[in-house]
Amino acid sequence: MRKRYALVLAGLFVAATAGTAVAAEYDRYERGPRGEYPVEYAPPPPRRVVEAPPYRHPVRGQGYFFTHLGIFDPNNESDGLAGYDAGSTFDVGFGSRVAPMFAFEGTFGAYGADDGSKEARVVPLTLGARLIIPTPFIEPYLGAGMGLYFSSLDEPATTGFSGIDDTSSDFGGYLSAGLDMWLNQRVALNFEGKYHFVEPTFQINDGSDVDVNLGGWTVNFGVRIAF
């Protein structure tokens, strides 16, 4: 009887020992060769995000120089430049990009038109601002400004008209719209349309005064260079 109990106990001991060995081997297999438990469900890799192209326009606070050449289209008002042919225009100026959407600038330029022997010339000296839509390459904008307009008008005498040959200095202003096409961070091609508002008073040769509208559109193509 005791022999039977001894055999049963020996069998239980062998079974327990074998079970422990199997469990240890299974645990070692589950942990891996370095002893760490593998991650059963690894998170998916992050999605690749397409990076936006870098901006080419000047950074905040950066100054710039610009210049334009273009065509002056005179107004067709009876008290202005009706009958005058299209003329030419140019301007140069400096500005500063004080914010991504805003810039201040000062401009010096000239425009004029002729009608046979008649000549009208205007030299604006203005301060203005531009509201810009920032994009990486092509930036549309709207602008406005005001300043001194130095003008001259030469119209020979005709029947019933004694003629004008006078100069004047007056306050005027402009509205503009355009776009910059940035080639790199410092250089952009520029296209701009600008309407000038100025109505100087000239003295007719008989001594009376007359107000003449010397405003009109200038259509310009030029370059903007940041520094």
Residue 54 lies in a domain: no
Measured at the CA of 99, the angle between CA 94 and CA 104, to 5 degrees, comes to 30
**38 band by pLDDT with thresholds 50, 70 and 90:** low
Q: What is the predicted pLDDT for the residue at 136?
A: 85
**58 band by pLDDT with thresholds 50, 70 and 90:** low
What CATH number is attached to the domain comprising 96?
Answer: 2.40.160.20
Q: How many domains does the chain divide into?
A: 1
Q: What is this structure's pTM?
A: 0.75
Collect all residues with Cβ–Cβ distance below 8 Å to 107 and sequence separation of at least 6: 91, 92, 93, 124, 125, 126, 127, 128, 145
Residue 15 lies in a domain: no
Q: Which of 177, 176, 181 is nearest to 223 (CA)?
A: 181
Residue 145 lies in a domain: yes
Range of the domain at 176: 62-226
Rounded to 5 degrees, φ, ψ at 10 are -65, -40
Which segment of 11-25, 64-78, 196-210 scores lowest on mean pLDDT?
11-25
62 versus 190: the higher-pLDDT residue is 190
Which segment of 22-31, 48-57, 71-80, 204-213 scores lowest on mean pLDDT?
22-31
**208 band by pLDDT with thresholds 50, 70 and 90:** very high
Rounded to 5 degrees, φ, ψ at 16 are -65, -40
**151/201 Cα distance (integer angstroms):** 10
